[in-house]
Amino acid sequence: MSLSFSWVGLLLAGMLVAVPATALEPEAELEKTLEAIRDVERSLEERREAVDDLEDRIAASARGAGEQRERLDELKRRREAQEEVIAEHEARVARREERLHEQRRDAARLVHDQWLQARHGQGDRPTEDGQRHHPVYAAAIQQARERALAGLHERIEELQTARAGLAKERDRLARRETETREAMAELERQDAARRAALEELEAAMEDEALELERLERNAETLDRVIAEIEEQRRATSREKESGEEAAPRSRAVNPDVPFADLEGELPRPVDAPVIRDFGSERRGSLRSQWNGVVLEAPSGAPVRAVHQGRVVYADWMQGYGFLVILDHGDGYLTLYGNLEDILAGPGESADAGEPVGRAGEGSPAIAPGLYFEVRREGRTLNPQAWWPSQ
C-alpha cells in the first residue's frame, strides 16, 4: 500500500469517528470526506513536486560546482605552466642583458682604441705600443668596432623581444588569475545554492511519511541500476562462454586477487570512523535501514578504490549524490556515494588505492561523510564484516 493511501485511510477513519451520523446527510458526508481526501492527495503531490524540484536544484548546483572545480584545476595547471614560461623568459632577459653589457664594454674599448689611433695620427703618441696604431691594425679595429656595434644592436633587439615576450606572458598570467577568481566566485555561488537547497530539503524532510517515501524511491532507483549492471554482467558471461568478443566497457573484470579472498582484509575507502552502521534504522524508521555504512570523511578527502575493478557507473543519483560503482568481478560491486566530485569515468579501470572521487559535505539523506556499500550479485553485504577486526 502506498504512503498516500495510508494517509488517506487514517484521514477517512478519523472523519468517520469525528462526524456524528445525524450531522450530515449520507451523500453530503461522503462528498465532504472525498473532498478532504482530494485535498490531502493534492497537498502530498505538491510536496512531492517541491521535493523533486529541490533534488533537481541540488543536482544542478552540484554538477555546476563540479565543473567549476575542474575548471579551477585546469586553470591551476595552466598558471603553473605560465609561471614556468615566465621564469624562462626572465632568465632569457637576464642572459640578454649580460651579453648586452659585455658588448657595450667591448664597443667602448674599441672606440677608445680608435681614439688612440686618431691621436697617434696627429703626432700625439700615446703610451700604448706603437704597433697598435699600424694602418692594418687600425683597419682591424674599425672592422671589430663595426661588428661589435652590429652585435650590440642585435643584442638590444633580442633584449627588447625577450622583454616583450615576458610582458606578454605576464599579461596571460594576469588573465589566468582573473579567470581563476571568477571561477572561484562561481564555485562559491554554486555551493551556496546547493547549501540553500539542502536546508530547504532538510525542512521538507520533517514530514516523516514523505521522507520515507523518498528514501524508498531512491533505494528503488539504485536497485534498478544495480539490476542493469547485473544483467550486463550476465550477458558478458554468456558472450565469454559462447566465444564472442565482449564490448570493451562490458568485458569481465579479472583482478589479480579475487574479491572474495579479501574478506576480513578489505581496506576502507577512507581512513575515517563509521557513523552509520549497516542495517541500522534510517531516521528512526524500521521500514528504512542502511544498506551500507557512512564514514565520517571530511569534505574533499580522497575516496579510494578498495580493490582493483572497473567503473560501471559514475554520475549523480538522487538521494546518493555523486555515485561511483566499481565491478570487481565474480558479481562483487562496491559503491561510493555522497561524493563532492568524481575522479573516474565509466569504463575506466581503477587500481586498489586509486582515488575515484572526493568526499562531499553531505546531504540530509545521508549525513556528512562517505556512503559505502558492498554487494554480491545485487545483494547487500555488511562492509564492516569485510574490514580487519579492530
Please give the Cα distance from 285 to 251 (Å, whole number): 40
Residue 390 lies in a domain: no
| pLDDT tens track for 322-353 | 899 999 999 999 999 999 889 999 999 999 99
Closest to 66 (Cα-Cα) out of 326, 369, 363, 358: 358
Which grid cell is 224?
Answer: 534498478
Residue 212 lies in a domain: no
* Least confident segment among 155-164, 289-298, 310-319: 155-164
| pLDDT tens track for 78-115 | 778 877 877 777 777 777 777 767 766 766 666 666 66
Q: For residue 308, give the CATH number of its domain.
A: 2.70.70.10
Please give the Cα distance from 345 to 249 (Å, whole number): 11
What pLDDT is recorded for position 121?
A: 56
What pLDDT is recorded for position 159?
A: 67
Residue of higher predicted confidence among 304 and 35: 304
What pLDDT is recorded for position 7?
A: 46
What pLDDT is recorded for position 352?
A: 94
Cβ contact 89:165 at 8 Å: yes
Residue 226 lies in a domain: no
Domains contained in the chain, number: 2
* Least confident segment among 40-54, 126-140, 257-271, 319-333: 126-140
Which residue among 204, 232, 266 closes a domain?
Answer: 204
33 and 175 share a domain? yes
265 and 173 share a domain? no
Task: Indicate the DSSP class of residue 213.
Answer: H
Average pLDDT along the chain: 75
- Backbone angles phi and psi of 196, in degrees to 5: -65, -45
In terms of pTM, does the model score above 0.95? no
What pLDDT is recorded for position 2?
A: 45
Sign of the torsion formed by the C-alpha atoms of 291, 295, 301 and 307: negative
| pLDDT tens track for 348-388 | 999 999 999 999 865 556 667 899 999 999 999 999 999 99
189 and 277 share a domain? no
What pLDDT is recorded for position 146?
A: 63
Residue 217 lies in a domain: no
Which residue among 142, 176, 204 closes a domain?
Answer: 204
What pLDDT is recorded for position 349?
A: 93
Closest to 325 (Cα-Cα) out of 347, 340, 293: 347
Residue 249 lies in a domain: no
For residue 181, is pLDDT > 70? yes
Which residues make Cβ contacts (< 8 Å) with residue 374, sequence separation at least 6?
266, 292, 332, 333, 334, 335, 380, 381, 382, 383, 386
292 and 192 share a domain? no
User: What is the C-alpha R_g of the chain?
Assistant: 38
